[in-house]
């Protein structure tokens, strides 16, 4: 399955990416190769393959969550670009 230059530009616009002409050409080729590889997998007969969420047994190796004291506010806001009282100040979103 090929991807067109217009489709790459459309996805770039949706992602708000400013791409150069070279990047558009390179991504058209690379995304086309990725879609072709996915298409090969889609052609496989997987009727007798049981569904799995993970091929290996996965166990949680973390300890239990235990409540503890929160960080001091000065530490929390140490790397914040802007602070308004006890809140992070962020630019408005449209």
Helix ranges (H only) for 21-72 are: 21-42
Q: Give the residue extent of every domain in the chain.
A: 5-42
5-42 belongs to CATH 1.10.20 = yes
Tokens linked to 86: 């006890």
Full-prediction pTM beyond 0.75?
A: no
The whole-angstrom separation of Cα 94 and Cα 91 is 10
- % of the chain exceeding 70 in pLDDT: 99
1 contacts: CB under 8 Å, gap ≥ 6: 32, 35, 36, 38, 39
* Per-residue pLDDT at 1 exceeds 80: no
Q: Using 50, 70 and 90 to split pLDDT, how confident is the model at 89?
A: very high
- % of the chain exceeding 90 in pLDDT: 64
Q: What confidence score (pLDDT) does residue 6 get? A: 95
What digits encode the pLDDT tens for the residues 4-44?
A: 999 999 999 999 999 999 999 999 999 999 999 999 988 89
């Amino acid at each position: 399955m090929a991807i067109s230059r217009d489709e790459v530009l459309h996805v770039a616009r949706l992602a708000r990416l400013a791409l150069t002409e070279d990047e558009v050409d390179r991504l058209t080729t690379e995304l086309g190769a990725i879609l072709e590889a996915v298409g090969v997998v889609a052609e496989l007969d997987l009727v007798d393959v049981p569904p799995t969420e993970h091929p290996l047994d996965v166990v949680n190796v973390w300890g239990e969550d235990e409540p503890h004291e929160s960080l001091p506010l000065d530490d929390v806001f140490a790397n914040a670009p802007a602070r308004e009282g006890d809140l992070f100040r962020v630019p408005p979103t449209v």
